[in-house]
A and B are shown apart, each in its own frame.
Chain A
Amino acid sequence: MTDWKLIAAARGLGIPDAEMEKIVPVMDALEAGFRPLAAGIPPAVEPAVIFSCAPEEDER
């Protein structure tokens, strides 16, 4: 499992220990549900986010 406390400390997020204690089990549960899904994505699948090259209002 991921060491969330280590990540928070390494990134300097400044999350107090008492709050981190509550976050860790939530993140563990989310990771357990999500990581197996992510492992099965075919390589060619692109993300469903939108980017357009068309000039935006303030660029016109």
Chain B
Amino acid sequence: MTILEAARALRAKQVSSTELVSTALERIAALQPKLNAFITVMADSARAAARRADEELARGLDRGPLHGVPVAVKDVFATKGVRTTCGSKVFADHVPDHDAAVVEKLAAAGAVLVGKTNQHELAYGITSNNPHFGAVRNPCDVERIPGGSSGGSGAAVASDMVFMAMGSDTGGSIRIPASFCGTVGLKPTFGRVSRYGVMPLDFSLDHMGPLTRSVRDAAVVLNALAGFDPRDDTSSRQPVEDYVPGEDVSIRGLRIGLPENFYFDRVDPEAAAAVRRAAETAQSLGARIVPVRVPDMAAMNAVGRIIVQAEASAVMEPYLGEREKFGADVRALLDQGRLLAATDYIHAQRLRRLMKQQFAALWKQADCLFTPTTPTAAPRIGKLTIEIDGAVEDVRLATTRLVRAINVLGVPALSMPCGLDRQGLPLSLQIIGPPFREALILRVAAVVEAAVRS
């Protein structure tokens, strides 16, 4: 069941919020030992919120499609009176005195928060193999990583624990778990969704967005979250739109850019073929496929890594006196950031401006781009390298290779399932759009999703 289906069932009185939330809590209890998707489950407050939602709906107070629907947020989002660990031993007992803007907005939309999802430590990695709260496991194959850093959110949505779980994305951390778990994941434009109340990994690269079971559900959530927030310096005043595609939307005449360089290099042939099939599907529905050449995305990835490392190390340096409180991989990344020169960081932010200009020229040729999200399906837990087309690559660098640059550019991108590989693992399509054109990429995604599902 999707958010929109649940919303219809709630209004038709076929189900109550109390029942939806009870089902969610039962499913979490049943699957938590296997998947470890949650750090904190908020059963009591969720049941109370569900009862409130039922009462409000019964007396005609309708807050929209999220009203009464059980959801979760990654444990980087501050929750008033509920511990917010960021997946870290350093913050294991941190209880905020305020809610993150995203949590406020979900509450205002009537969504019922059932818990806080597990993640890669400090949102700084892609395995969600958390040394303090245990490894999150992929519902498609529990011996494989769910991706990260929002791995618990991906696992919780893919296993039907909740209808939606929020993630944060600094270098792919929404799109990677969406790809590996077979869900939709939306990283909106930088500034579209407030970062207020989210434990920062990187001030200038962090994006907040939903993981959902359908494209339209992601749009429903964006409708609830988008908008200016004066508490976030990077929040945009760009007007918001209705992001939910209509039932009869078309992509006829739309120009879909299919990169000739970079995005299909060192990609598993099955993953590449799935994306090309999605492009053919879009073409059969009236879109025009336009071959494009993208700028130097490897250079953008290098710039992204410098920015991530410098900013994350600045955030976490006060805590590095207790090195044993960090997992080995995160500690190594934080140490790397402390070795960079100030000029490296400034140069990276200057290059970012130039690269944004280069990439913007692409939108004269295409309305959006189709690429793979990840070069492979989910790797096995504990694997440090993967072999793609005969080349051995570090798992983290390979997995972030097709997504990290998009955070440097700040443009919106969505990951959605587009097939299964021979082992039955999800493969995914990344749709990248111009700044603040979330409505466009959601429309394209909804049309492709409908075609793929039929």
Contact = CB atoms under 8 A, between A and B. Distances in A.
Interface of A: 4, 7-8, 11, 13-15, 19-20, 22-23, 26-27, 30, 33-34, 37-38, 41, 45-50, 52, 57
B281 interface: no
B234 A46 contact: no
Interface of B: 204, 230-231, 233-234, 298-299, 302-303, 305-306, 323, 328, 331-332, 335-336, 338-339, 343-344, 346-354, 356
Nearest to B347: A38
A41 B323 contact: no
Contacts of B303: 34, 37
B211 to A, nearest CB: 27
Contacts of B350: 41, 45-48
A48 B332 contact: no
A49 B346 CA distance: 9
A50 B269 CA distance: 41
A50 B343 CA distance: 17
A27 to B, nearest CB: 6
Given A33-B299, A34-B303, A15 B335 contact: yes
B286 to A, nearest CB: 37
A36 B297 CA distance: 15
Contacts of B339: 4, 7-8, 13, 23, 27
12 contacts: A7-B339, A19-B331, A26-B336, A30-B306, A34-B344, A37-B299, A38-B343, A38-B348, A41-B351, A47-B353, A48-B350, A52-B233
Contacts of A26: 332, 336
Contacts of A20: 335
A48 B335 contact: no
